[in-house]
């Protein structure tokens, strides 16, 4: 499996996620408890990974597995970062409106690049840095509110705390991604064994979230396990399977590709969702969506194309820029 095939598949699944989630609503509202979705997705990923790990045991080479506590104890950390991130996200939304929040979410692309450089010591060329910034600029451009759209809050009018929390949120989200990549590449352990550890903790933390909601709401709907599948339809199950499958692809990318590839996949998915929404939900296309798509396409080409292809000039012209730069008159 080549990484770009996995990345393209992740784009399709992430894009379907937005569309399926919208389709799973009845009259614009969820008839089920949305918090059950990530919990069941973790369970699904855990089952799939356990099965694949078991298959590896049947093979001629048993899977490499590090089982000492020193390593295992690192696997709950991504879940803990996501837990903090969710709370920061909640706090941010008390200061800024949802569209400003969405715009600020694109900062995550740049913070991922920075943490990727700082923590994983991975170096990027000047052009690749520019490509990352352009990707963030392109996704932001596509999200700029059109002339005459309903809500019309200025992006610059929120209190400073909102922007600080938005930045913190972008850093935490990037940190979770970069830390997961570090974990997956730390040793040559079987991907499925690493997944089993990751998703076991993921399932536990998501279950704690359901328990916490029960306590917060005083059990008035009954305990979480009794209402787990309440209001579930076929579409809801597709949302769970889709989220779980995209999670498995992300794990694969973290081990065999990297965070930047993942960021490109999910950014492309955001644009694809907007394009599909034009047809599915009669979303009004804007010129800024069109511009955003061009910018992101350029960014992909800049980041992934072999550098030599980018800078090579058809022969005979090599001298032109030099004569241009060296001309001195008077």
What is the C-alpha separation between 210 and 217, in angstroms, rounded? 11
At closest approach, how far in Å is the CB of 326 from a copy of itself? Answer: 9
Interface pattern 200-239 for a copy of itself (x via CB under 8 A) = ----------------------------------------
125 binds a copy of itself (CB under 8 A): yes
Choose one: 24-32, 49-57, 229-237, 295-303; the region binding a copy of itself (CB under 8 A): 295-303
98 binds a copy of itself (CB under 8 A): no
Query: What's phi and psi for 248, nearest 5 deg?
Result: -65, -40
Could you write out the DSSP letters of every residue in 204-235? HHHHHHHHHHHHHTTTTT--TTTSTTTT--HH
- Toward a copy of itself, which CB reaches closer, 134 or 272? 134
Nearest to 38 by CA among 280, 208, 183, 230: 208
Nearest to 122 by CA among 255, 258, 2: 258
156 binds a copy of itself (CB under 8 A): yes
What is the C-alpha separation between 330 and 309, in angstroms, rounded? 38
Q: Which residues are CB-contacts of 157 (< 8 A; sequence separation ≥ 6)?
A: none
User: Of residues 33, 189, 214, 258, which one binds a copy of itself by CB under 8 A?
Assistant: 258
- Toward a copy of itself, which CB reaches closer, 1 or 234? 1
User: Of residues 144, 204, 207, 300, which one binds a copy of itself by CB under 8 A?
Assistant: 144
> How many CB atoms lie under 10 A from the CB of residue 201?
21
At closest approach, how far in Å is the CB of 81 from a copy of itself? Answer: 24
Nearest to 42 by CA among 248, 212, 252: 248
At closest approach, how far in Å is the CB of 58 from a copy of itself? Answer: 15
Q: Quick check: helix, strand or coil at residue 117?
A: helix
Which residues bind to a copy of itself, rule: CB under 8 A?
Answer: 1-3, 103, 122-127, 130, 133-134, 137, 140-141, 144-149, 152, 155-156, 256-258, 261, 285, 287-288, 291, 294-295, 298, 301-302, 305, 307-314, 316-317, 320, 324-325, 327-330
């Amino acid at each position: 499996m080549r990484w770009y095939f996995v990345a393209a598949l992740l784009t399709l699944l992430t894009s379907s996620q937005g569309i399926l989630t919208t389709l799973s609503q009845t009259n614009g509202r969820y008839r089920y408890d949305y918090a059950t979705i990530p919990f069941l997705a973790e369970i699904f990923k855990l089952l799939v990974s356990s099965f694949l790990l078991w298959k590896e045991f049947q093979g001629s080479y048993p899977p490499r597995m590090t089982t000492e506590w020193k390593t295992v104890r690192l696997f709950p950390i991504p879940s803990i970062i996501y837990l903090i991130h969710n709370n920061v996200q909640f706090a941010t939304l008390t200061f800024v409106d949802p569209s400003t929040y969405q715009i600020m979410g694109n900062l995550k692309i740049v913070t991922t690049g920075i943490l990727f450089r700082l923590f994983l010591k991975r170096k990027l060329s000047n052009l690749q840095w520019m490509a990352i910034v352009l990707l963030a600029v392109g996704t932001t451009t596509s999200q700029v509110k059109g002339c005459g759209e309903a809500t019309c809050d200025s992006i610059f009018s929120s209190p400073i705390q909102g922007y600080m929390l938005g930045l913190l949120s972008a850093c935490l989200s990037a940190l979770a991604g970069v830390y997961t990549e570090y974990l997956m590449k730390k040793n040559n352990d079987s991907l499925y064994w690493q997944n089993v550890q990751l998703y076991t903790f993921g399932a536990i933390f998501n279950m704690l979230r359901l328990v916490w909601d029960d306590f917060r709401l005083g059990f008035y709907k009954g305990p979480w396990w009794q209402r787990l599948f309440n209001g579930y339809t076929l579409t809801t199950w597709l949302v769970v399977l889709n989220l779980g499958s995209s999670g498995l692809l992300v794990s694969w990318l973290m081990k065999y590709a990297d965070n930047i590839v993942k960021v490109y996949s999910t950014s492309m998915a955001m644009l694809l969702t907007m394009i599909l929404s034009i047809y599915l939900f009669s979303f009004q296309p804007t010129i800024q969506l069109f511009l955003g798509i061009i910018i992101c396409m350029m960014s992909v080409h800049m980041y992934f194309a072999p550098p030599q292809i980018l800078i090579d000039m058809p022969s005979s012209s090599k001298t032109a820029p030099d004569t241009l730069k060296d001309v001195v008159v008077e």
